[in-house]
Amino acid sequence: MNDTTSLIRAYQPEDIEPVMAVWAAANALAHPFLETVFVVEVERSIREDFLPISETYVLEDKDQVIGFIALIGNQIGGLFLDPACHRRGYGRALVDHAVTLKGPLKVEVFRENAIGRPFYEGCGFERIEDEFHAPSGQMNRKMAMPGA
């Protein structure tokens, strides 16, 4: 992460379109196994239900939103980065920011997510259990940092 051009700040309602654009690009890359009808419903739910109640932080680089993390308590509800910005330390910076605010974190990630699951493992999250996620028809992995 470039500390001279990057900034993590609280989400504002005017961030909705760039946040959703990041979500759409990252979701398509990380979740190609999800059915279109499910993805459409999730997008609606993020806009109308989730962002209004979550504690969300956006990551900007050169005044452009390139990622975000949404929290409910110490649970990561979503962490998404512009795919062009992967593997540069931005995701870790968002997790570290959340840990500073909330302490050890929990997350649920699709077991088939070959990007997110190893990322969280690299951040120190450990597998708690796998369970069936009925709305998506996929297996979900619950993970937590030690002490969460």
- How do 64-72 and 55-61 pair as beta strands? antiparallel
Is residue 96 assigned to a domain?
yes
What's the CA angle centered on 74, arms 54 and 18, to 5 degrees? 35
Find the helix or strand (DSSP H, E) in which 77 lies: strand 75-81
Find the helix or strand (DSSP H, E) in which 129 lies: strand 126-133
What's the CA angle centered on 43, arms 40 and 45, to 5 degrees? 110
User: In the prediction, which pLDDT does 140 show?
Assistant: 96
Return the half-sphere exposure (C-beta side, CA atoms, 13 A cut-off) of residue 140: 10
Q: Could you read off the pLDDT of 114-148 as tens digits, one per residue?
A: 999 999 999 999 999 999 999 999 999 999 999 88
Domain span at residue 42? 6-104
Is residue 126 assigned to a domain?
no
Is residue 144 assigned to a domain?
no
User: In the prediction, which pLDDT does 148 show?
Assistant: 84
Is residue 129 assigned to a domain?
no
User: In the prediction, which pLDDT does 5 show?
Assistant: 60
Residue (of 11, 108, 22, 6) closest to 60 by Cα position: 6
Is residue 97 assigned to a domain?
yes
Q: Could you read off the pLDDT of 14-61 as tens digits, one per residue?
A: 999 999 999 999 999 999 999 999 999 999 999 999 999 999 999 999
CA 28, distance to chain mean position in Å, is: 13
> By CB neighbour count within 10 A (0-12 exposed, 13-18 middle, 19+ buried), where does 79 fall?
buried
Q: What is the mean pLDDT of the chain?
A: 94
User: In the prediction, which pLDDT does 6 show?
Assistant: 76
User: In the prediction, which pLDDT does 48 show?
Assistant: 93
Number of domains present in the structure of the chain: 1
CATH of residue 79: 3.40.630.30
- The pTM for the full model equals 0.92
Is residue 95 assigned to a domain?
yes
